[in-house]
Amino acid sequence: MALSAAALAVALPACGKSSTGANAAISGSTLTVYSSLPEQGGTGDRAKAIENGIRIALANRAGKVGKYTIAYKPLDDSLASTGAADQGKGGQNARTAAQDKTTIGYIGEYNSGISTVTIRILNDAGIAQVSPTNTYVGLTSNAPGSEPGEPGRYYPTGKRTYVRVVPKDTVQAAALVTATKQDGCTTVAVFNSKSTDSAGLARDIRLAAPKAGVKIVANDAYEPKAANYRSLMSKVHAACAIQTGEIEQNGVQVMKDFEQANPGAKLYGSDGICLNAVADPKKGLPASLASNYHCSIATPDPKSLGPAGKRFLAAYKARYHQPQPDPYALYGYESMSLLLDAIQRAQASGSLTREKVVDELFATRNRDSALGLYSIDRNGDSTITAYGLYKITGKAVSFDRVIKPNRSLIAG
């Protein structure tokens, strides 16, 4: 769940000082980039794909930037007992990076709730953090969907050090609402798992829906550890449902029980439940529901990728022998590419410091990337505003269509 309020949110620019020497010149010729991702459980395959994308970006530079050799150290932030990402392990990973004098960057987290812990730790150390997947609004702004005190409480130094390469949840909410509108949904029920990511996205959907003429008839939080949700669903009647919860938080069971109470209903899931595991007829949705399910991932149409994106897919296929990598492999690749380019520009100006790398990240404008053209704004957000809608094909999720929500639906 999101943390309690501490103070009024403020939109801080990239200015201020780190309390632990971000201005100090880095000595030696080796720099380290850490990643922190949930390598176990339902998101384990996706985490590995993101790590593979990171490795390809580094290999493209032969592991070097200028005179520096770049070491990459992947860390796991999930629990073996449940497979779920854990704030304690995430915090431990961030402290490991902060205590390493060679650390120049950190890629993570996968879950926004873990970033509410790690951003603070890395910010205090002045370390540049790039998330390939975080979408929760409150990490970067006080736009609708955030909580009081956000995002200021995550940046103790007063200087922003965190950026993300995916659009935030105000965009994802608008995309999901647009998809239901396009598909003829007259009434929509929304369910969230109470996590930071899930509850925040549900709030954004509630705000976007009326602007699109979509009627929300229920907006319910559910208990992730419940055996089933038949009692809850017996009270909810809608033509469609949007599930913002995570696959490891009983997200599939919620959709099964909703459809049982509303036969033939169309089902939609956010990025937290848009994984191949949901297409497994034994552990995910049964085959009878597969054709009714769509989910959102902030990934461009694979067929419309530019030269950089196509080179990445070719490199991934050759190195890992997978013609269709998990869509987020591309975001792992771009996270490392963005960071390495920032390091390149920072070291070109003389002595290299963590602060210079952070400044260069925030100076990113009109970047022609594997994801397409985008900039990083003053809050650390990507300017991309399109989402991919995915469907189940066989035992995997596959691209269906691009959703480009009207800007009037995007709050904040």
In sequence order, what DSSP letters do the residues of 73-115 get, joined into one string? EEEE-B-TTT--B-HHHHHHHHHHHHH-TTEEEEE--SSHHHH
* Rounded Cα distance, 394 and 114, in Å: 32
Tell me what the mean pLDDT of segment 342-370 comes to.
95
* Rounded Cα distance, 360 and 240, in Å: 44
| Contact indicator for 67, 349 with CB cutoff of 8 Å | no
pLDDT at 302 over 90: no
Tell the CATH topology of 30-167+307-374: Rossmann fold (3.40.50)
**Amino acid, single-letter form, for residue 45:** D
pLDDT band for position 283 (cuts 50, 70, 90): confident
Tell the CATH topology of 169-297+387-409: Rossmann fold (3.40.50)
| Contact indicator for 379, 140 with CB cutoff of 8 Å | yes
Tell me what the mean pLDDT of segment 18-31 comes to.
75
pLDDT at 47 over 60: yes
pLDDT at 180 over 70: yes
pLDDT at 1: 32
pLDDT at 248: 82
User: Which of 102-116, 149-163, 271-285, 337-351 is predicted least confidently?
Assistant: 271-285
| Contact indicator for 294, 387 with CB cutoff of 8 Å | no
Beta strands in 28-77 (DSSP E): 30-37, 64-65, 68-76
pLDDT band for position 82 (cuts 50, 70, 90): confident
pLDDT at 2 over 50: no
Among 133, 119, 131, 132, residue whose Cα is nearest residue 161: 119
H helix runs in 184-328, sequence order: 196-212, 230-233, 251-261, 287-290, 307-320
pLDDT at 336 over 80: yes
pLDDT band for position 21 (cuts 50, 70, 90): low
pLDDT at 19 over 50: no
| Contact indicator for 218, 271 with CB cutoff of 8 Å | no
Tell me what the mean pLDDT of segment 54-81 comes to.
96
pLDDT at 16 over 80: no
Tell me what the mean pLDDT of segment 172-182 comes to.
96
Question: For the chain, give me the number of helices (H) and strands (E)?
Answer: 11, 15
Return the higher-pLDDT residue of 302 and 118: 118
Tell me what the mean pLDDT of segment 174-186 comes to.
96
| Contact indicator for 1, 41 with CB cutoff of 8 Å | no
- Cα torsion angle, 165, 171, 176, 182, sign: negative
Query: Where in the sequence of the chain do the CATH 3.40.50.2300 domains occur?
Result: 30-167+307-374, 169-297+387-409
